Amino acid sequence: MSKQRSKTGFDQNSYRQIFGLANEYKEGDEAIGVATPDATAREIARKLLSNIRIRELHENVLLEDDLQKLIWDTTNPEQYQKIKDWTVGELKKFLLDSPEDAIKSVMDGLNSDVIAAVVKLMNNPELIAVGSKVFNPLPGSNIGAKGYMGARIQPNSPTDNSDDIIWQVFNGFSFATGDVVIGNNPVDSRVDNVANIEKALKDVVEAFGLQDILPWCALAHIDVQRAVEEIFPGSVAIVFQSLAGTDDANKIFDLTVKKMLGHAKSRTGKYGFYFETGQGSDFTNGAANGMDMVTLESRKYGFARALKHEILKVHPEVNWTLVNDVAGFIGPEVFKSREQLVRCCMEDIVMGKLHGLCIGLDVCSTLHMSVSLDDLDWCMDRIMPANPAYLMALPTKNDPMLSYLTTAFQDHVGIRRKFGYKVNDDMWDFFKRIQIIDADGNFTCHVGDVLWVYYQYCLAKGDKRSRQEIDAEGNQKIREIQARGVPLAMGHGDRVSDLNPKLKKEVEARYADAKICIWSEFTPEFMASIPHAVQVKTLSRDRSDYIAHPVTGEQLNNESIAALETLRDSWGKHIPDVQIVISDGLDANAIMDPGHLMPYLTALHKYLPEAGLVISDKHIVVIHGRVRAGYRIGNILFEKADPNSTKAILHIIGERPGTIHRNYSVYMAAPKARVWTDKKVDHDMARVISGISDTSFAPEKAAEMTATLLKEMIALGK
C-alpha cells in the first residue's frame, strides 16, 4: 500500500485527546495527559470516535514515523477498500454481528489506529464476544485455535544456572504444561552465557524429540541472539524481541524498523519470532509521543504483523510467529487495580487477534501493585472466556528471578479443567508418551513428579543407570536448586491444581516479605556506614509518591543538583573515570542486608584500579532513586570533562522484591563525556548486572564481572 500523508488542517492533538479520553481510565494514560476518570467525558469521546470514518483515521494518523509507514505498507489495500467508508461505530457492529470468516475477509485492511479505535468502543462482554470467535492458529498445530489454551514455560534462574532452568521445564512437563514455547529470561545477556542457556534448552527439547513442535529461546536482545546463532548454528530456535509502539521507544530498545526487517529476512526454518509487548512501556521510557497506551499497544501489533508478513514474503516456510502481551509487568504507574488488569488483557487479546496474530498473555502483577495472589485467580476467571492462545507458566505464581506474579503450572491444570481448554495435540501425545497422561486423557500417578520426568529424560538420552541411581542424582539436584531459591512444584494439595501445602506457605511468605521490602528505606545507621557518602534526593515527596509516580524518582531536587555541582567543581581538572551511585530502588533492604553492598564496594575498589580506572572517592547515595536518576547524576558530574574522554556511572540499585535473595542490580553507562553533556544517555547505552546478593550472584563475583564489562564498554568507545 502506498504511503499516506496526513491531510492539511488535520488537528492531530485533538485526535490524540479523543483517543485517550475514549479509553477506560488507567494511571498511565493520566501520566501521558490523555485520560479522564469522568464517565460523561468518556462517553462523549466515544461518541465522537464512533462517528469517524475509517479512511479518516487511515489517512490522518496520530503519529507518522517509520513504524507508521511500515504499518501503512503492510495494510491490505484490497481489504481496506471494502471498509474505508465505514464509521468506527459501524465497524464495531460488524465485528460483533459477523462470523469469523467475514471478519477475516477485512481485518488485514485495518491499520493499527483503527483497530485501537474500535476496541475503545467495546465493553468487556463485547471484547469477549470478538475474542472468542477470531482465531489465528499457528500452521500445522492447534496453538491459537479455538478451544485450545497453551503455555510458555518460563524457567528463570537468579544465577542462570542450567539445572535451575531445565528442571523447571521437567516440572512443567510433570503437569502436562508447556506446549507453546520454552523461554528463559537471562540475567547475564553476554553472548557466551546466552549460548549456554540456548544449548541447555535445545538439549532438553531434542532429547525428547520435540524439536519440530516446541521451540525454545533465551530472551536476550535480538542482536545477541543473532551473534549466538552465527557462532553456534542451530542453537537458536525461535528469536525473541520486545517491541515498542513508536520509533523513539524502539530506539531505547536499540531497535529500528530497518534493523527488524533485516532480521526478518534472515529467518529460516519453521520458527520465526517470539515478540513481547505490553501497555505502558512507551510512556515509562518517555516516548509515548502524546498517544494513549491502547493505541501504542495496537501499533506494536502492527509492527509484529508487518514483520510476520515480511518473513512469509521472503521465507514462506517460516510460519510460526508468536506474540506475548505482558500486561501488568511495569507497575502501578501503568494501572493499579485488578479490574484495570482485566480490561488491559481484554483489549490486547482482541487487538492482537484482529491483527492476525497468535497472541498469548502474561497476566501478571508486580509486587508493588495492589493486585494480590488471589486477585490473579479472579482476573483469570474473567479473561479466559476470550480464549487467549496461551499463558505463562512457572512452578509457582512468583518468578524467582524477575520477582513478579503470574501463572503457575498448576493454575494451567485448573484453568483447563474449568474452561474446557486443551493442550496442543502433538504435545498432549508427548505427555502420554512419558506417562503423565493416560490413554483416557487423565493424569496418572506421575503427575507433579519431577523426578519421573527427569528419569524419562535420562532414558531418552540413552542413560543405562538404574532408576535408583538416577533418582539419587535427581534428589541431590533438587536440593541444590531449592537452596538457590528456585521453587519446584512437586506433588500437589487436595487437587492436582493446588500447590502442596508447604510450598504454598513459602510462596505466601515471600509475598508478605515483598510487601515489607517495597516500603523499606535507608536507615540512619546504614547511611553512616557508607564511606564518604554524599546524600542526594529525588523529587519524590515520600515512598508513596515514589511508588505511584516513578518519574519523580528519576529527577533530582534543586538542593541535590547544587550538591553535585559543588562536588564536580571540587574536582577541577582531576575528574575521576568512574562515579559510584547507590539507590534504594524498589527494595532498600536489598542494599542494606549484611553481606550485600560492602563486599561489592570493597571488591570494586580493588578491580577497577587494577584496570587503570580512577574511582571517585565519594559514594553518591540517592533517596527514592530510579535507574534514570543515575544518568542525571552523570549529566551533571561529567559536564565539564574532556568531551572525548570516557566517563562511567555505576549505579547500584535495589531490585523488585519477591525472592528469598533480596537482590540488587548494577546499571553501567560509560559513554564519552560529550554524550553526558548532551544528556543523551539512556537505557540503550547501559549494561546491567542483576541478581546480586549473598545468596545469589555473589557480590565479589559481581564486582569482578562489573570491571570486565566496564573495560569492554570503554574499549568500544561509545
| Tally of CB atoms within 10 A around 365 | 24
Q: Above 70 in pLDDT, residue 497?
A: yes
What's the rounded mean pLDDT across residues 534-557?
95
pLDDT given at position 586: 95
Q: Which domain holds residue 451?
A: 150-284+330-340+356-509
β-pairing, 320-327 with 271-277? parallel
Distance, in Å, from the CA atom of 4 to the CA atom of 74, rounded to the nearest integer, reads 12
Q: By the 8 A CB rule, do 85 and 54 touch?
A: yes
Q: Is 571 exposed, middle or buried (0-12, 13-18, 19+ CB in 10 A)?
A: middle
pLDDT given at position 684: 87
- Considering the domain boundaries, does residue 196 fall inside one? yes
Distance, in Å, from the CA atom of 535 to the CA atom of 556, rounded to the nearest integer, reads 11
Residue with cell 492436582: 496
pLDDT given at position 9: 57
Residues 583 and 633 in one domain: yes
Residues 416 and 541 in one domain: no
Phi, psi of 86, rounded to the nearest 5 degrees: -70, 150
Could you tell me the pLDDT band of residue 2, with boundaries at 50, 70 and 90? Answer: very low
Q: By the 8 A CB rule, do 260 and 307 touch?
A: yes
Cell (9 digits) for 249: 521507544
Query: What type of residue is 380?
Result: M
CATH number reported for the structural domain that contains residue 194 in this entry: 3.20.20.70
Which DSSP helix (H) or strand (E) runs through 233?
none
Residue with cell 507433579: 448
Cα–Cα distances in Å, from 363 out to 307, 327, 373, 480?
Answer: 25, 6, 12, 30
CATH number reported for the structural domain that contains residue 629 in this entry: 3.40.50.11240
Phi, psi of 73, rounded to the nearest 5 degrees: -65, -20
Q: List residues bridging with 391 in a β-sheet.
A: 151, 361
Give the neighbor-by-neighbor strand order of the sheet with 648-654.
533-537, 615-623, 578-583, 648-654, 664-669, 686-692
pLDDT given at position 696: 86
What pLDDT digit, counting tens, does each position of 16-25 carry? 999 999 999 9
Residues 389 and 249 in one domain: yes
Which DSSP helix (H) or strand (E) runs through 279?
none
What's the rounded mean pLDDT across residues 613-634?
97
Residues 479 and 537 in one domain: no
Distance, in Å, from the CA atom of 196 to the CA atom of 162, rounded to the nearest integer, reads 8
Q: Above 80 in pLDDT, residue 6?
A: no
Distance, in Å, from the CA atom of 204 to the CA atom of 199, rounded to the nearest integer, reads 9
Cα within 13 Å of Cα(528), Cβ side:
3
Residues 458 and 541 in one domain: no
Residues 446 and 530 in one domain: no
Distance, in Å, from the CA atom of 60 to the CA atom of 655, rounded to the nearest integer, reads 42
Q: Above 50 in pLDDT, residue 74?
A: yes
What pLDDT digit, counting tens, does each position of 174-193 carry? 999 999 999 999 988 889 99
* Structural domain count of the chain: 2
Distance of CA 123 to the CA centre of its chain: 27
Within 288-400, strands assigned E span 320-327, 358-363, 365-366, 390-393
Q: By the 8 A CB rule, do 253 and 684 touch?
A: yes
Among 231, 223, 307, 235, smallest CA distance to 272 is for 307
Query: What type of residue is 309?
Result: H
Residues 218 and 272 in one domain: yes
Cell (9 digits) for 344: 488491559
Going 463 to 466 to 469 to 470, the CA torsion angle's sign is: positive
Q: What is the mean pLDDT of the chain?
A: 95
What pLDDT digit, counting tens, does each position of 441-495 carry? 999 999 999 999 999 999 999 999 999 999 999 999 999 999 998 999 999 999 9
Distance, in Å, from the CA atom of 70 to the CA atom of 74, rounded to the nearest integer, reads 6
pLDDT given at position 320: 95
DSSP-based three-state secondary structure for 712? helix
Q: Give the domain-ending residue among 481, 509, 537.
A: 509
What's the rounded mean pLDDT across residues 527-554?
95
pLDDT given at position 7: 56
β-pairing, 216-218 with 365-366? unpaired
Q: How many residues does the chain have?
A: 718
What pLDDT digit, counting tens, does each position of 386-425 carry? 999 999 999 999 999 898 999 999 999 999 999 999 999 9
Residues 422 and 530 in one domain: no
| Tally of CB atoms within 10 A around 59 | 16
Distance, in Å, from the CA atom of 133 to the CA atom of 531, rounded to the nearest integer, reads 63
Q: Above 60 in pLDDT, residue 39?
A: yes
- Considering the domain boundaries, does residue 134 fall inside one? no
Residue with cell 502483577: 365
Residues 499 and 570 in one domain: no
What's the rounded mean pLDDT across residues 102-130?
98
pTM for this prediction: 0.92
| Tally of CB atoms within 10 A around 683 | 16
pLDDT given at position 213: 97
Q: Give the domain-ending residue among 465, 489, 509.
A: 509
Among 450, 353, 370, smallest CA distance to 409 is for 450
- Considering the domain boundaries, does residue 219 fall inside one? yes
- Considering the domain boundaries, does residue 115 fall inside one? no
What pLDDT digit, counting tens, does each position of 44-59 carry? 999 999 999 999 999 9
β-pairing, 150-153 with 181-184? parallel
Cα–Cα distances in Å, from 503 out to 175, 487, 515?
Answer: 16, 8, 19
Residues 567 and 642 in one domain: yes
Distance, in Å, from the CA atom of 392 to the CA atom of 324, rounded to the nearest integer, reads 9
Cell (9 digits) for 137: 492458529
What pLDDT digit, counting tens, does each position of 331-371 carry? 899 999 999 999 999 999 999 999 999 999 999 999 888 89
Residues 494 and 522 in one domain: no
